């Protein structure tokens, strides 16, 4: 077979070497009947390819053929690496070298008009502002247009970066947990009742029986721990029939879930969260440099600050958080959940005071938590629970769970849950259940907030929200 070269690997050291690449034509600039420039793209990298009419190698027909290619066509380019004079700016190419083409084949020609242009879809706000100043008109590709044409939109460097980062987050989540002897599990997604309570559940008909799409693996991950697996994790789809259209809610997202036996205290779960997510953030920073750069070029963001000077992750209690808000003049509902605005404000206050964007808020009021949450020993108005925040927005919820059958039943009834629909879950605590706890993280939230993106849809390949079921 022939040897293929990756565009990202092209470098000045390869000067005068022959290479063969396959990529998509991003731009075509005919200069004359004798010269044409093509920018060829592979994932996050592009390279400029030059065809110049010359005896025996490139004919005028060849130049005409190159000039007539359509954007996004897939081509094979064979040529020689050259390092252009620095006075010759290689516009819109990420490589510092160009290819002097000797052979060009079209593998698959784009025959249709492009609904969006990759270069238009790749522009940053800064570019729009600068263009506006100089009176230039640039095409703005709106979010709906991008998402409607996602297959093309995904080809932008920033999107290649986002999904590269997403993949590495999952990779490291899995790798670290396996090192700690957690077993990966796969729980059913069609279940008999709602797992989190509330109205946000998709109902369906399961061969005549009423059923739901799992709002989380909560019930079955706990049942697995009752089944003798002391440490489990799952990466899988989570369905929420969200009513409101927000920047951070999807109707289907990827849940990163953990459930584990604990020996004494739910802080054991917090410790795991802190260690695991610091490892994930380190891993992404170390292994996704190009991806992060590509995201940064289109959506500039400050690197995430996730450690205190002593190397630990910040933990505050809910009451301490409320106190900070109160001091700043923010009113909150007594013993209530923080609304999005208060959460963001607290994120700002914490960042100013502790210089970190990552913290764990513990000991929430019991009435703000799902029925399976363990009340605090010393004050049952509070619970052994926590939320984790990145840049002032929630990425994780977790808690110690009630392991006593009677208290669990009582709490479920009190929270308005039809206990009949979860009777097999309740029954699994009968023989009896170990002390346990766990957490659930939203993968798209983690990626969105790590990268400082403004909308969760950017982190879902084909997002499902209250208004979108296609593509």
Footprint of ligand AMO (CB under 6 A): 196, 216, 218, 240, 242, 249-250, 253, 257, 394-399, 438-442, 444-445, 456
Among 244, 327, 329, 334, binds ligand ATP (CB under 6 A): 244
User: Is 175 noted as a catalytic residue in this protein?
Assistant: no
User: Is 248 noted as a catalytic residue in this protein?
Assistant: yes
Nearer to ligand ATP, 242 or 261 (CB): 242
**Which residues pair with residue 233 across a beta bridge?**
184, 258
Evaluate whether 338 touches 321 at the Cβ level (below 8 Å): yes
- For ligand ATP, which residue has the nearest CB? 244
Nearer to ligand AMO, 169 or 396 (CB): 396
User: Is 249 noted as a catalytic residue in this protein?
Assistant: yes
Catalytic residue among 196, 234, 242, 261: 242
For 136, other C-beta atoms within 10 Å of its C-beta total: 10
Nearer to ligand ATP, 356 or 397 (CB): 397
Evaluate whether 347 touches 392 at the Cβ level (below 8 Å): yes
Q: What is the DSSP string of 358-410?
A: EEEEE--BGGGS-TTBPBPSS-TTBBSEEEEEETTEEEEEEEEBP--HHHHHH
User: Is 54 noted as a catalytic residue in this protein?
Assistant: no
Among 32, 59, 246, 282, binds ligand ATP (CB under 6 A): 246
Q: From the list ligand AMO, ligand ATP, none, which binds 395 (C-beta under 5 to 8 Å, kind-based)?
A: ligand AMO
Tokens of 350: 């914490």
State the greatest distance between any 2 C-alpha atoms of the chain, in Å, as a whole number: 89
- 397 forms part of the interface with ligand ATP (CB under 6 A): yes
User: Is 172 noted as a catalytic residue in this protein?
Assistant: no
Nearer to ligand AMO, 257 or 357 (CB): 257
Q: Least distance in Å: CB of 90 to ligand AMO?
A: 41
Nearer to ligand ATP, 197 or 375 (CB): 197
335-374 binders of ligand ATP (CB under 6 A): 337-340
Q: How far apart are CA 248 and CA 237, in angstroms?
A: 16
Catalytic residue among 155, 176, 249, 297: 249
Strand order in 190-191's β-sheet? 190-191, 209-213, 203-206
Active site residues: 240, 242, 248-249, 394, 397, 445
In the complex, the residues that contact ligand ATP under the rule CB under 6 A are: 244, 246, 249, 337-340, 394, 397
């Amino acid at each position: 077979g022939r040897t293929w070269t990756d565009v990202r690997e092209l470098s000045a050291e390869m000067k005068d070497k022959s290479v063969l690449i396959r990529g998509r034509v991003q731009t075509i600039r005919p200069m004359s009947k004798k010269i044409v420039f093509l920018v060829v793209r592979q994932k996050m990298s592009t390279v400029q390819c030059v065809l110049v009419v010359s005896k025996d190698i490139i004919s005028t027909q060849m130049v005409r053929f190159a000039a007539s290619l359509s954007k996004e066509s897939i081509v094979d380019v064979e040529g020689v690496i050259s390092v252009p004079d620095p006075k010759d700016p290689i516009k819109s190419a990420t490589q510092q070298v160009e290819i002097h083409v000797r052979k060009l084949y079209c593998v698959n020609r784009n025959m249709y008009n492009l609904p969006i242009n990759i270069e238009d879809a790749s522009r940053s706000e800064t570019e729009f502002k600068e263009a506006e100043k100089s009176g230039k008109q640039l095409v703005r590709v709106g979010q709906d247009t991008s998402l409607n044409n996602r297959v093309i939109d995904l080809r932008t460097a920033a999107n290649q970066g986002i999904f590269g980062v997403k993949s590495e987050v999952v990779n490291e989540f899995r790798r670290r947990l396996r090192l700690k002897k957690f077993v990966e599990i796969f729980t059913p997604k069609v279940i008999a009742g709602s797992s989190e309570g509330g109205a946000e559940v998709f109902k369906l008909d399961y061969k005549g029986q009423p059923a739901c799409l799992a709002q989380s693996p909560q019930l079955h991950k706990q049942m697995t721990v009752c089944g003798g697996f002391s440490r489990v994790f799952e990466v899988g789809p989570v369905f929420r029939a969200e009513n409101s259209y927000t920047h951070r809610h999807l109707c289907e997202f990827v849940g990163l879930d953990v459930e584990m036996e604990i020996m004494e205290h739910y802080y054991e779960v917090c410790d795991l969260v802190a260690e695991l997510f610091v490892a994930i953030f380190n891993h992404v920073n170390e292994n996704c440099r190009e991806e992060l750069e590509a995201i940064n070029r289109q959506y500039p963001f400050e690197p995430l600050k996730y450690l205190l000077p002593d190397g630990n992750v910040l933990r505050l209690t809910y009451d301490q958080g409320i106190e900070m808000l109160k001091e700043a003049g923010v009113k909150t509902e007594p013993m209530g959940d923080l609304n999005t605005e208060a959460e963001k404000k607290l994120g700002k206050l914490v960042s100013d005071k502790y210089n970190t964007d990552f913290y764990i808020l513990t000991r929430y009021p019991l009435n703000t938590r799902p029925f399976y949450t363990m009340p605090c020993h010393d004050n049952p108005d509070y619970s052994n629970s926590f939320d984790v925040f990145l840049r002032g927005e929630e990425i994780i919820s977790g808690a110690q769970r009630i392991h006593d059958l009677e208290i669990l039943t009582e709490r479920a009834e009190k929270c308005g849950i039809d206990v009949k629909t979860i009777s097999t879950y309740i029954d699994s605590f009968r023989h009896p259940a170990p002390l346990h706890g766990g957490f659930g993280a939203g993968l798209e939230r983690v990626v969105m907030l790590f990268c400082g993106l403004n909308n969760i849809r950017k982190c879902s390949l084909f997002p499902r929200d209250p208004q979108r079921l296609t593509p």
